[in-house]
């Protein structure tokens, strides 16, 4: 009965996300979104994706630390929920439009439990499963796809991570003026 379990877990995730968005205390909402992330890693385990479960748990811990850093900074600067009618109306209209598009999209989706690679005999996933061990020597096919068959994706991913970190470093840097005022600063390093 994995489907029932997954459905219950996803409902819990939706409740956690609603709590995280609706509560007015930032600390509470950070903790709620942490609960959503950990539930997601349990769902990944039920979907037989252990790689994703491990990565999601590790990433979630770092995410919580970074978000706490942003939330504690504000000293409980809780922004009041001023709701203008027109804003809520626009939001509801957007969400209804998205829901309509989604209903149209799900008509073309495969049934749950029948992956797309079963429909087409020449789907790339079949090749990966068939030849993965012989061609790459990696028993973990996800790693084989990540670092051999689709290594260009990983190269792009590494580039994005590199750029994001450089961006964060340069955004948070102190102004350069301070360093010019203190020429004796470098000798301690």
Partner 1 sequence: MIYFLCFGLILVGLYGVLVRRNTVKIIISLLVIEYGIHLLLVLQGYRRGGVPPIVEPGTDQQTWIGQSVDPLPQALVLTSIVIGLGVLALLVSLSIRLFERYGTMDISKMRRLKG
Partner 2 sequence: MSGQKPTEGMSLIVKTTCGWLKGFILLYGIHIILYGHLTPGGGFAGGVIAASAFLLILLAEGQRAGLKTFSKKAALTWRSVGALIFLAVAGLGLVVTGTFFENFWTGHASGNFTHFGGSIQASEIGIGLLVCSSLYLVAMVLFGCAFGFESER
Residues making contact with partner 2 (CB under 8 A): 50-51, 53-55, 58-59, 61-62, 65-66, 69, 133-140, 142-144, 146-148, 151-152, 154-155, 158, 161-162, 165, 168-169, 172-174, 178, 182, 184-185, 188-189
Supply φ then ψ for residue 56, to 5 degrees: -65, -40
Q: Which of 66, 100, 179, 185 binds partner 1 (CB under 8 A)?
A: 66
SS (H, E, C) 155-183: HHHHHHHHHHHHHHHHHCCCCCHHHHHCH
**From the list partner 2, partner 1, none, which binds 5 (C-beta under 5 to 8 Å, kind-based)?**
none
HSE-CB at 104 with a 13 A cutoff on CA atoms is 6
Binding status of residue 151 toward partner 1 by CB under 8 A: no
Query: Which of 177/189 has CB closer to partner 1?
Result: 177
Rounded to 5°, the CA angle 127-114-56 comes to 80
How far from the centroid of its chain's Cα atoms is residue 39's Cα? 13
Whether residue 68 contacts residue 16, with contact meaning beta carbons closer than 8 Å, is answered with no
**From the list partner 1, partner 2, none, which binds 180 (C-beta under 5 to 8 Å, kind-based)?**
none
Binding status of residue 152 toward partner 1 by CB under 8 A: no
Q: Which of 100, 110, 135, 185 binds partner 1 (CB under 8 A)?
A: 110
Q: Which of 94, 100, 135, 179 binds partner 1 (CB under 8 A)?
A: 94
**From the list partner 2, partner 1, none, which binds 136 (C-beta under 5 to 8 Å, kind-based)?**
partner 2
Binding status of residue 13 toward partner 1 by CB under 8 A: yes
**CA–CA separation, 4 and 16 (whole Å):** 18
Binding status of residue 31 toward partner 1 by CB under 8 A: no
**CA–CA separation, 5 and 48 (whole Å):** 13
Query: Which of 47/61 has CB closer to partner 2?
Result: 61
Give the number of other CB atoms < 10 A from CB of residue 39: 21
What is the torsion angle, in degrees rounded to the nearest 10, for the CA atoms of residue 116, residue 119, residue 124 and residue 130?
110
**From the list partner 1, partner 2, none, which binds 110 (C-beta under 5 to 8 Å, kind-based)?**
partner 1
């Amino acid at each position: 009965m994995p489907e029932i379990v997954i459905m219950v877990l996803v409902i819990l995730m939706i409740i956690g996300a609603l709590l995280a968005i609706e509560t007015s205390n930032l600390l509470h909402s950070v903790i709620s979104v942490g609960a959503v992330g950990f539930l997601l890693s349990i769902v990944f385990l039920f979907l037989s994706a252990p790689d994703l479960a491990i990565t999601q748990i590790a990433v979630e811990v770092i995410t919580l630390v970074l978000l706490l850093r942003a939330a504690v900074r504000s000293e409980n600067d809780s922004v009041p929920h001023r709701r203008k009618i027109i804003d809520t109306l626009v939001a509801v209209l957007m969400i209804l439009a998205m829901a309509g598009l989604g209903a149209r999209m799900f008509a073309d989706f495969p049934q749950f439990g029948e992956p797309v690679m079963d429909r087409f005999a020449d789907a790339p996933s079949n090749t990966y499963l068939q030849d993965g061990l012989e061609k790459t020597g990696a028993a973990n096919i996800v790693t084989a796809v990540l670092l051999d068959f689709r290594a260009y994706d990983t190269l792009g991913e590494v580039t994005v991570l590199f750029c994001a970190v450089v961006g964060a470093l340069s955004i948070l840097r102190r102004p350069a003026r301070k360093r010019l005022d203190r020429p004796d600063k470098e000798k301690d390093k």
